RNA sequence: GCGGGCGUGAUGGAAUGGUAGACAUACCGGACUUAAAAUCCGGAGGCCUUAGCGCCGUGCGGGUUCAAGUCCCGCCGCCCGCACCA
């Protein structure tokens, strides 16, 4: 008997699918189903994370297709971004050439996986046909008032004279130059996503197909808070500054205030920079990175400006105004009052600068007179104390009272704030979608005429010097103003790559159209029924896409039904691997790839030299730790089905999966076994067998159908795989007539098709299945075959399992109880007495309480 | 720092509040073989001078319940995101 040879079989069926155009999607009368995996960045090689992601999507796509849906399952490339420019600098290649070569390489690696993708819809975001449509929408969004310009801060490398991404700032220094990074203000383009804060927040409730954790993360990110905005009277500030406006979510703690603090970027802080000490302090604050993490982790520092503000409810009570490094200019008013007793950051600050700490909220179970604050701020519920007219009130009542009085004094009012900031899309880089506007000396900022789109990136650029090549391009910048025709300059900023990925799912519905979308196509194919990708995109990408769907609807590019573009979302886990290292000369570990290492009895050695290798923790596959297994090697060695089967087995899809050589081997063995059973069944012809076994096999078949179906529907592919293992074992051991074995194998082929499509075709063909198994209908489990006549019920005594009894499946509660009480173990436990209680859960358990 | 998640045998994991460890890996034993590989069959959570109708067991400590891996409260550890990485 011949072994199953994936190298021959897999290309054969891939060609058969291609010839039959099996996965081409066109509108028809059937109900549609749109499956989408987050499209890849063309880094140059497919990695195991891709294999897992696209296999999951493929399982869903093939399954839904078998269930009779008209499936759309496309693929494209998120092709703009920094790595191409880095490659350009390091390898002297053009970012476009580098990117398109990578796409070609990755497509070649992806196709042998046998994914049921409609490749006719493929595009890359760096295709002018794509980004030109994006520019067109940008102009529409400008006209709809969704785009504006304002100053914003960037990381500036003073040596390389270039803007740095947060990622390129390491310990406050530029990653190439090593120079301390400065903050610099530039005029930049923004989308008004914050106009949609409330809507993006409330609509989360309707995202029923999304994981609860992602919905929570989005809610917290948008971060609605109810608070009070009010102005302190201020003394000692420079001319032009009236009061100090602050925003607080805890107006109830106003009598616990001991200072006010402003951000170093606050206008008042800037106005005080005539004082060299303040200028120096602000400069020091600005050395911290621009990320929220850097700001909040930095040690609390403040500078007492000498300015004071007056407590709104007491004219003699004055609070010092500090400039502090933990106040964010981007949230609220960039100024706060500090109540150290009930906010940890304020408490740390107060302890450091010797400010008073007065508790104003007392927990219900504490004594108001002796309640004090130690190293931890009290943020729980309680009653107001030390707060004059608020004393005895609850926090909620106190908030209402303070807000009311402040409003009566006309000093401020209640305000809802959101943490969500507008989306800055300007990037001072070449390899991105050019922002299609022109700066005219007389007309100002003018959108490019639509007939002049796409504004194509010039090809003749150099990356010898840092900075944006578009800025120094000799001719590309110089254009006539679209409005008046005078000499003008093109905008040289390009768009954030998140813009590219915020609407690609819509473009897949009409990828070659000369408008961004085509309404009737979008009407049919939208929404994405199942979106699959990494949890790392839980906030930004998904939120931006939700905003874009709204913006596209407003500008007439998407139908109303697509306001929430993703009906269901699944976030898959990572692919991990052990790490291997040997000791380098300087004592630091030298990372080794799994290829270089031989594993024996839990120890590892270098294949080449026999040197001992340390086995490190199991972490996400990464180039830097070299713990990567190249999918191409696995497909080469075992075939795509083995790789697909492995990444679907064992670990639940939402959790990390550890790639192990033995696991891959085991997957391969299983697929061989399925083929061996098939070949045996073919040889046996119409060999007779046991009729009772035939019935048992039929029951096993339907149990498997049920479990595989539930597994796929519930995104628990590992359980589907387990059911298929079990079913295969049953077939192997069955003495049923060979015709029944063949029926079982045919069903097995259909059930395995989503995961191992090539083997499934081969088995299907050997069992004389009609046409391609890729077009076969999904079987339905017969409920009558899923139940057994007799079941085994465990008997517990006082909640501990002691014995089991066999009862008819349809036995009544009373019958079961009577039977259980006759049980010897129960009799002994009762010791002649009566049970206190007997709990019978039919089909589940009996618990006798004695 | 803030937000989110995860934690079950040697390992990956299974378990509508109802027999903890399905299925698989690694391991051990057996069959076949001159031998090995492959294949097939079987074993197996831990503990024990008591091998049982025994005791313990789902990161740790409490609680609710006839019954807790599952629900509640408090910890510990690890992972992800934090707005210019994609």
From residues 191-230 of A, list those within 7 angstroms of strand B by Cβ.
Answer: 212-213, 216-217, 220-221
In this predicted structure, the answer to whether residue A677 has a pLDDT above a threshold of 80 is yes
Give the nearest nucleotide to A658, CA to C1': B12
Q: How far apart are CA A87 and CA A761, in angstroms?
A: 42
- Distance from residue A516's CA to nucleotide B7's C1', rounded to whole Å: 47
- pLDDT of A600 reads 64
pLDDT at A169: 87
Decide: CB of A844 under 7 A of nucleic strand B.
yes
pLDDT in tens, A318-356: 999 999 988 888 788 889 999 999 988 888 889 889 999
Distance CA A749, CA A774 (A): 10
Mean pLDDT of A709-723: 92
CA gyration radius, chain A: 33
- Which DSSP helix (H) or strand (E) runs through A559? none
When the pLDDT of each residue in chain A is averaged and rounded to a whole number, the result is 90
Quick check: A290 pLDDT over 80?
no
A 275-304: CB within 7 Å of strand B: 290-293, 296-297
Tokens of A697: 């096999």
pLDDT (tens digit, 9 = 90+) per residue, A737-747?
999 999 999 99
Q: Across residues A73-79, what is the average pLDDT?
A: 97
* Nucleic strand B under 7 Å from the C-beta of A722: yes
Q: How confident is the model over A91-113, as a mean pLDDT?
A: 95
Q: Is the pLDDT of residue A601 over 60?
A: no
Given a cut of 80, whether residue A599 has pLDDT beyond it is: no
Give me the CA A849–C1' B52 separation in Å, rounded: 22
pLDDT of residue A609: 80
Q: Please give the pLDDT value at position A134.
A: 98
Question: Are A826 and A820 within 8 A, CB to CB?
Answer: yes
Token pair 């120096």 is found at: A280
Nucleotide closest to A602 measured between CA and C1': B26
Within A 127-156, residues with CB less than 7 Å from strand B: 152, 154-155
Q: What is the pLDDT of residue A239?
A: 87
**pLDDT on residue A603:** 67
Q: What percentage of chain A has pLDDT greater than the value 90?
A: 61
At A738, is the secondary structure helix, strand, or coil?
helix
- Percent pLDDT > 70 in chain A is 99
Each residue of A764-787: pLDDT tens digit?
Answer: 999 999 999 999 999 999 988 888
Least confident of A382-391, A671-680, A804-813: A804-813
Q: Are A73 and A57 in contact (CB under 8 A)?
A: yes
Which ipTM value was assigned to this complex?
A: 0.91
Tens digits of per-residue pLDDT, A261-276?
999 889 999 999 999 9
Residue A254 scores a pLDDT above 70: yes
Is the distance between the Cβ of A428 and the closest atom of strand B smaller than 7 Å? yes
Q: In 3-state terms, what secondary structure has residue A690? A: coil
pLDDT of residue A2: 66
pLDDT band at A280 (very low <50, low <70, confident <90, very high): very high
Asked if residue A815 has pLDDT above 70, the reply is: yes
Model's pTM, two decimal places? 0.92
Chain B nucleotides covered by protein, CB below 7 Å? 1-6, 11-16, 18-20, 22-26, 38-41, 53-54, 66-68, 79-86
Residue A284 sits at the vertex; the CA angle it makes with A283 and A290, to the nearest 5 degrees, is 85
Report the run of H or E that residue A642 belongs to, with start and end.
helix A640-648
Give the C-alpha separation, A665 to A642, whole Å: 8
From A229, A233, A265, A261, select the one nearest A248 (Cα to Cα): A229
Q: How many CB atoms lie within 10 A of CB A298?
A: 14
Predicted confidence band of residue A1 (pLDDT cuts 50, 70, 90): low
Mean pLDDT lowest for which of A133-142, A375-384, A486-495? A375-384
Do residues A517 and A106 make contact, with C-beta atoms less than 8 angstroms apart?
Answer: no
């Amino acid at each position: 008997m011949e072994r199953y040879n994936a190298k021959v079989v897999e290309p054969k069926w891939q060609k058969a699918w291609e010839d039959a155009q099996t996965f081409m999607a066109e509108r028809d009368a059937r109900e549609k189903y749109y499956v989408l995996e987050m499209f890849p960045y063309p880094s140059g090689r497919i990695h195991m994370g891709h294999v897992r992601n696209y296999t999951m999507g493929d399982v869903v796509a093939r399954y839904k297709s078998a269930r009779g849906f008209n499936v759309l399952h496309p693929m494209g490339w998120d092709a703009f971004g920094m790595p191409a420019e880095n490659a350009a600098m390091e390898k002297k290649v053009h970012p476009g050439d580098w990117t398109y070569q990578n796409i070609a390489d990755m497509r070649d690696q992806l196709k042998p996986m046998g994914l049921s993708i409609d490749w006719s819809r493929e595009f890359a975001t760096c295709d002018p046909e794509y980004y030109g449509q994006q520019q067109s929408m940008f102009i529409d969004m400008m006209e709809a008032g969704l785009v504006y310009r304002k100053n914003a801060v960037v990381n500036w490398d003073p040596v390389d004279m270039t803007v740095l991404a947060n990622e390129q700032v390491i310990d406050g220094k530029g990653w190439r130059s090593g120079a301390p990074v400065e903050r610099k203000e530039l005029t930049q383009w923004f989308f008004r996503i914050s106009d949609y804060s409330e809507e993006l927040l409330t609509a989360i409730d309707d995202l029923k197909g999304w994981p609860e954790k992602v919905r929570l993360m989005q809610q917290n990110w948008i971060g609605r808070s109810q608070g009070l905005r009010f102005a302190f009277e201020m003394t000692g500030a420079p001319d032009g500054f009236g009061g100090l406006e602050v925003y607080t979510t805890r107006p109830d703690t106003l009598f616990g205030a001991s200072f006010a603090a402003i951000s170093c970027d606050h206008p008042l802080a800037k106005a005080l920079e005539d004082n060299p000490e303040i200028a120096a302090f602000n400069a020091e604050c600005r050395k911290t990175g621009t990320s929220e993490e850097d700001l909040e982790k930095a040690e609390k520092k403040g500078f007492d400006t000498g300015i004071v503000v007056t407590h709104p409810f007491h004219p003699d009570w004055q609070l010092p105004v500090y400039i502090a490094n933990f106040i964010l200019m981007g949230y609220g008013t960039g100024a706060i009052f500090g109540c150290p007793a009930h906010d940890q950051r304020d408490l740390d600050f107060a302890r450091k600068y010797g400010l008073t700490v007065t508790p104003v909220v007392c927990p219900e179970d504490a004594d108001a007179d002796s309640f004090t604050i130690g190293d931890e701020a009290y943020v729980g519920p309680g009653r107001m104390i030390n707060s004059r007219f608020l004393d005895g009130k609850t926090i909620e009542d106190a908030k209402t009272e303070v807000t009311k009085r402040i409003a009566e004094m006309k000093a401020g009012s209640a305000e809802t704030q959101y943490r969500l900031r507008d989306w800055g899309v300007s990037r001072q880089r070449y390899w991105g979608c050019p922002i299609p506007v022109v700066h005219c000396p007389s007309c100002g900022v003018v959108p490019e005429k639509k007939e002049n789109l796409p504004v194509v990136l010039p090809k003749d650029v150099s990356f010898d010097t840092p900075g944006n090549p578009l800025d120094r391009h000799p001719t590309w910048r110089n254009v006539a103003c679209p409005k008046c025709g005078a000499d003008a300059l093109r905008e040289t900023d390009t768009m954030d790559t998140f813009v590219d990925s915020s609407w690609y799912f819509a473009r897949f519905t009409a990828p070659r159209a000369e408008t961004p979308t085509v309404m009737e196509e979008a009407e049919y194919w939208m929404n994405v029924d199942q979106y699959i990708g990494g949890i790392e995109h839980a906030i930004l990408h998904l939120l931006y896409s939700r905003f874009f769907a709204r913006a596209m609807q407003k500008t007439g590019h998407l139908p109303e039904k697509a306001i929430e573009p993703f009906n269901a979302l699944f976030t898959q886990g990572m692919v991990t691997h052990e790490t291997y290292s040997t000791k380098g000369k300087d004592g630091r570990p030298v990372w080794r790839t799994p290829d270089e290492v031989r594993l024996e009895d839990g120890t590892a050695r270098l294949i080449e030299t026999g040197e001992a290798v340390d086995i490190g923790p199991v972490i996400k596959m990464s180039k830097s730790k070299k713990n990567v297994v190249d999918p191409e090697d696995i497909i080469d060695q075992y075939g795509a089905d083995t790789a697909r089967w492995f990444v679907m087995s064992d670990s639940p899809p939402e959790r990390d999966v550890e790639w192990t050589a033995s696991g891959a081997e085991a997957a391969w063995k299983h697929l061989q076994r399925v083929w061996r059973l098939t070949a045996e069944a073919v040889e046996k012809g119409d060999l007779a067998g046991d009729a009772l076994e035939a019935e048992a096999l039929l029951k096993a078949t339907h149990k498997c159908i049920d479990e595989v179906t539930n597994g796929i529907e519930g995104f628990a592919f590992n359980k589907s795989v387990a059911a298929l293992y079990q079913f295969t074992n049953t077939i192997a051991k069955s003495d049923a007539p060979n015709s029944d074995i063949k029926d079982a194998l045919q069903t097995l082929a259909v059930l395995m098709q989503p995961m191992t499509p090539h083997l499934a075709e081969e088995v299907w063909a050997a069992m004389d299945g009609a046409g391609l198994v890729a077009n076969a209908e999904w079987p339905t489990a017969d409920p009558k075959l899923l139940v057994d006549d007799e079941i085994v019920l465990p008997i517990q005594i006082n909640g501990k399992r002691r014995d089991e009894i066999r009862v008819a499946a349809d036995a009544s509660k009373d019958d079961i109880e009577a039977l259980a009480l006759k049980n010897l173990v129960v009799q002994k436990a009762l010791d002649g007495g009566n049970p206190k209680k007997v709990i019978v859960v039919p089909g589940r358990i009996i618990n006798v309480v004695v």
